[in-house]
């Protein structure tokens, strides 16, 4: 559950950067200051997620855009856009976290900050990406 809170903090910081055009470092500091009781280990995980997403943002966005049918990535709700970035970052770059865990967390967080329909959309995109990544890895 603490990892979920760290992911939620990361989402909030990414939202602040994406929508509010805030500085990444300030956004993380602000969000983590308000996360009373969140262990230091989870502060680190949150920061790792935010900095990782920001570093790989162009690559993540390009990959995600390829999975949108009749829709533009920048027209997605900001929460959905950033949940997708977070989950894809975990899937691609955090090997210690199973993809199914990252997808499930993305779905649950989307349900909290958006709605059921958005969570189904997130599930569909991430599940398709996971299957394609697995198929590509098996071919190699």
Chain segment 80-105, per-residue pLDDT in tens = 999 999 999 999 999 999 999 999 99
Half-sphere exposure of residue 138: CA atoms within 13 angstroms, side-chain side: 6
Residue 61 has pLDDT above 70, yes or no: yes
Model confidence band, residue 1 (pLDDT cutoffs 50, 70, 90): low
Please check whether residue 93 is in contact with residue 58, taking contact to mean a CB–CB distance below 8 angstroms.
Answer: no
Fold of 2-139: N-utilizing Substance Protein B Homolog; Chain A (1.10.940)
The pLDDT value given to residue 52: 98
Tens digit of pLDDT for each residue in 125-139? 999 999 999 888 888
3-state secondary structure of 73: helix
Task: Name the pTM for this structure.
Answer: 0.95
Q: Is the confidence at residue 59, as pLDDT, over 90? A: yes
Q: For the segment 8-41, what is each residue's pLDDT rounded down to a tens digit? A: 999 999 999 999 999 999 999 999 999 988 999 9
CA pair distance 77, 35, nearest whole angstrom: 24
């Amino acid at each position: 559950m603490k990892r979920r809170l760290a992911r939620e903090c990361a989402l909030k910081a990414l939202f602040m950067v994406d929508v509010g055009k805030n500085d990444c470092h300030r956004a993380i500091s602000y969000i983590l200051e308000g996360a009373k009781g969140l262990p230091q280990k989870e502060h680190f995980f949150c920061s790792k997620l935010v900095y990782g997403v920001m570093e790989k943002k162009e690559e993540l966005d390009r990959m995600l855009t390829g999975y949108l049918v009749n829709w533009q990535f920048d027209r997605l709700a900001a929460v959905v856009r950033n949940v997708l970035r977070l989950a894809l970052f975990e899937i691609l770059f955090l090997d210690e976290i199973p993809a199914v865990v990252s997808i499930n967390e993305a779905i649950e967080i989307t349900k909290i900050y958006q709605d059921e329909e958005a969570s189904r959309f997130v599930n569909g995109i991430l599940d398709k990406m996971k299957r394609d990544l697995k198929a590509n890895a098996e071919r190699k």
